């Protein structure tokens, strides 16, 4: 089965991990600080806190933003459930706002309509690696105290109006799962424009422990002394995985270029395939292309999915609208509330896309998709 996404591990990656395993640090050590500094070179210098996974990054970011009971968080439904569930875990109410009909990122007009005096965070999602329209989203939250969060699990290495992902919102979260644009096996990170919010993020990911003498309430207890002022969780990313991340970052430009080249090949090969729509790109965006999301028309997505899988092509659907999950349905959320996202879901299919995908294997995908779409079309015509 040809997967829809896959990590790219080199001998340099293996050597970087082995070096740490032979050293003195496995958990929090010098590789953590170095990885955060390396990441900041991709965020335009915005400070970063490494965490244990992408869901942890969201939980940490919402906590650092002060999200709690009684607060509202605006979320688009076209995302993985963690963008919403991690805010629910802090006691927030989720307000779903629909996506636009070109990029399927959060619609700024829908976001503006969803903002109230209780809104703490508006969370945009860079769907498939295409940045959301952050300047328009800034306008959407004007007049409120809401912070803007970018869920950039798909988009590290991308740019918006020439500005790097990680510098576009008050808070940005990354994921380094194996199928993402770089990997630490499991891992993630939070970037924050405000140093105080970044400080809160780092404390929350470290169980809330305060060690800085100037912040201690009882600074003269002794060298062992530490305090917890606000509760946090252990979301630390260990040295051994940060070493892998540092090695991967050295190839992020190469990964991004290969993904773009594969997207260009798909665009050219599938441009005239009836019954399929290809992903859009805004002129102001340079996407990182985590996914290649096509739309299969005429209610045939399930049929094409099954045919592709039977042919050994590991297509995927990204994503089930978050408010459709039973956990949210049980809270009173209803289908039909976000029609653009729901219509897109009914058609969406992700084709394999990862740096190690060869041209020959991509041609297999193209041939299998063409056959799956045309076989059904011929049958319908008959």
Report CA-CA distances (Å) from 348 to 266, 297, 341.
16, 9, 10
Q: Centre a 10 Å sphere on the Cβ of residue 161 and count the other Cβ atoms it contains.
A: 14
Locus of tokens 């062992």:
224
Work out the burial of residue 117: count CB atoms within 10 Å of its CB; fewer than 13 is exposed, 13-18 middle, 19 or more buried. Answer: exposed
* String of DSSP letters for 174-217: EE--TTSSS--SS-EEEEESSHHHHHHHHHHHBTTEE--GGG-S
Q: Are 151 and 260 in contact (CB under 8 A)?
A: no
Element (H, E) at 95: strand 93-96
Tell me the three-class secondary structure of 350-373, residue by residue.
EECCCCCCCHHHHHHHHHHHHHHH
Q: Which of 83, 17, 75 shows the shortest CA–CA distance to 54?
A: 83
Q: Centre a 10 Å sphere on the Cβ of residue 288 and count the other Cβ atoms it contains.
A: 26
Q: How far apart are CA 320 and CA 83, in angstroms?
A: 13
**Is 120 an active-site residue?**
no
15: which DSSP letter?
H
Q: How far apart are CA 206 and CA 200, in angstroms?
A: 10
Q: Are 97 and 114 in contact (CB under 8 A)?
A: yes
Active site residue: 93, 120, 180, 199, which one?
Answer: 180
Residue count of the chain, please give it: 382
Enumerate the active-site residues: 180
């Amino acid at each position: 089965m040809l997967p829809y996404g896959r990590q790219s591990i080199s001998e340099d990656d293996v050597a970087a991990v082995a070096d740490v395993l032979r050293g003195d640090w496995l958990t929090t050590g010098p590789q953590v600080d170095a990885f955060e500094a390396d990441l900041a070179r991709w965020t335009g210098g915005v400070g970063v806190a490494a965490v244990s996974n992408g869901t942890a990054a969201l939980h940490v970011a919402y906590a650092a933003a002060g999200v709690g009971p009684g607060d509202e968080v605006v979320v688009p439904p076209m995302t993985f459930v963690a963008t919403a569930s991690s805010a629910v875990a802090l006691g927030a109410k989720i307000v779903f706002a629909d996506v636009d009909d070109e990029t399927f990122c959060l619609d700024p007009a829908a976001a503006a309509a969803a903002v109230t005096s209780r809104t703490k965070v508006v969370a945009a999602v860079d769907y498939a690696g295409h940045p959301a329209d952050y300047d328009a989203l800034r306008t959407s939250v004007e007049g409120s105290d809401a912070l803007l969060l970018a869920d950039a699990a798909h988009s590290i290495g991308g740019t918006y109006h020439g500005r790097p992902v990680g510098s576009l919102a008050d808070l940005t979260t990354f994921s380094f799962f194996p199928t993402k644009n770089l990997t630490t096996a499991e891992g993630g990170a939070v970037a924050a424009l405000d140093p105080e919010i970044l400080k809160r993020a780092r404390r929350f990911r470290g169980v809330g422990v305060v060690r800085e003498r100037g912040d201690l309430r009882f600074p003269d207890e002794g060298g062992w002394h530490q305090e917890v002022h606000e509760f946090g969780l252990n979301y630390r990313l260990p040295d051994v995985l940060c070493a892998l991340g540092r090695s991967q970052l050295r190839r992020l430009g190469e990964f991004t270029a290969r993904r773009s080249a594969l997207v260009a090949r798909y665009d050219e090969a599938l441009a005239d395939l009836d019954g399929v729509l290809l992903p859009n790109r805004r002129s102001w965006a340079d996407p990182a292309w985590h996914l290649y999301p096509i739309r299969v028309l005429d209610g045939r997505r399930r049929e094409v999915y099954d045919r592709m899988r039977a042919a050994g092509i590991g297509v995927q659907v990204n994503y089930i609208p978050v408010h459709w999950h039973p956990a949210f349905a049980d809270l009173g959320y209803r289908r039909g509330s976000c029609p653009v996202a729901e219509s897109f879901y009914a058609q969406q299919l992700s084709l394999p896309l990862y740096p190690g995908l060869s041209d020959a294997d991509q041609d297999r995908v193209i041939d299998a998709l063409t056959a799956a779409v045309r076989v059904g079309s011929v049958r319908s015509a008959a």
